[in-house]
Structure 1
Amino acid sequence: MITLVRRAAVLGTLGATLAACGTATEAPRAPRPAPTASSAVPSRPAPPGPPTLAPGPAGLTPVFEHGPRAREKTVALTFDADMTADQGPRAAAGERFDNPRLIATLRRLKVPATVFMTGRWAEQYPDQARFIGRDPLFEVANHSYSHYAYTDDCHGLPTVPKERMRSDVERAYAAFEKAGVRDAMPYFRFPGGCHDRAALEELATTGVTAVQWDVVSGDAFATDADAVARQVLDGVRPGSVVVMHCTRSAAPVTEEVVRTVVPELRRRGYRFVKVSELIGASDDRR
């Protein structure tokens, strides 16, 4: 499996390959002589990568919950694209784990957002994953491959064994790459939000920042869009991260909630941003 550090290089290679799409392979070239001191061109610094947080105590995976409170009124809407490894038969039978109408509404309203995607979702809906991943309005982050929990007793979810946690994260990134998602972010959301010290230790070498939230929308399995919208509007503060879902079968009212929440928060003076902007504004970033 690729590591997160190698993943960045692989993504760059994939982008170049897609751009070249169908060109012939070049013939081998003779090696160039090393430049002399007089002819050497100073190398340019590599562009900075996405902002992340510094490791936590003892090198643990850092955990981000919200942005600065005392600065401008920003808020990040995040959407979990959930699908477990064993839900393929349900999808084949017609159950919809995607929500194209929600994504279209976000585009129409010009709302930046972060989509925390499972690898299994990207495999089920590769075209949608690619379109989301290549739209500059959005950023794709990691929500595990299988949406299995990283702790015991997490909302009834099956559990990923400790020794497979890192490979589960890496498998999700591999699924994004296969679907054509460019530059997936080094952010990880634990399924169910459940984590403990052991999980933070296991993921430390992947280089991800774990992203939680401070506003629970309550859209999962909800049928009252007005109640969900009120919960979001009552909870948002400057720097908030709102958790919602991008799965029609499990969160059928989310698109309606967005149509209510977005204009009202804008009326209150809020600006919508991606999670990366909130992390970039954090005093704990590296």
Structure 2
Amino acid sequence: MIRINLYTLLYLVLLISISEPSVAAQDVVKVCGEEYPPYSFSKTDDKGQPTRELTGATVDFFEEASKQSHFDFQITLMPWAGCVASVANYKGEGDFEMFIDATSNSERLAKFLPSDAMYKTQNGLFYSYNKFSEKLSDISIKTLEGKTFCGLLGNNQEWLTKLGIPQHLINYDFTNLSALFKQTRAGYCDFAAYSFEIVMGQVFIKKLALSDDINFVEFPKNNGQANLFYHWVSKSSPSRQQIIEILNRQKVQLEGGAYENIYRRYLPNGSGLQ
């Protein structure tokens, strides 16, 4: 009969534990954003109800970044104002450290550190053939005199006022795209002002049905109102530089086919940066 004393048993346990490959723990980075199809949004179940599982081009990109780095990026979708305020008040572990999918302005640059530009959208005007019998291939400020413009609540309407559109002709009170386009078709709005990529992306992933009479015209022409989108880290984060470097490096490593393929899962024209 073989007897193993206590010291021998402990030695064997220690030997086995040393021989097993160790897996380094990742540093959790809490990330927030709002529901922003086709870049970040909740998957739905068979009944069309949202689940806790997230998807979208931005979500897929961060999943790749987590695989290739020592950071575990964990994204939560929430109301936008609360998200940005949380990152601005970052104090340490457990707090939201960064937010995603946002354009640049002086206020954000003062408080947060941006990544490289990750994708681009183009502002323009959607209109209905019910209102305009011919396709609008080119429009000018003079063409738009007296016309009404509608958009989504909380979206930036400054680009319209900068072009000389009077404030009383702008109505940004709509809470979703379906309602916005319904009223545009009905003639309540002459134009729906919104980003082409966002609308087409939602159509592409079947979150929005767009009727055949709706068309789009780029305005102003020549990419005059292109929006570059970035991901932003709190300047209070001790890891801010590392996080930004990893995201930028991940984009470069995927650049070309692999990077664009992430966005083409949701958008016909990819990131819009090429």
TM-score per shorter chain, which class? under 0.3
Q: Indicate the structure with greater helix content.
A: 1
Q: Indicate the structure with greater strand content.
A: 2
- Give TM-score scaled by structure 2 length: 0.25
Between structure 1 and structure 2, the one with the greater Rg is 2
- Give TM-score scaled by structure 1 length: 0.24
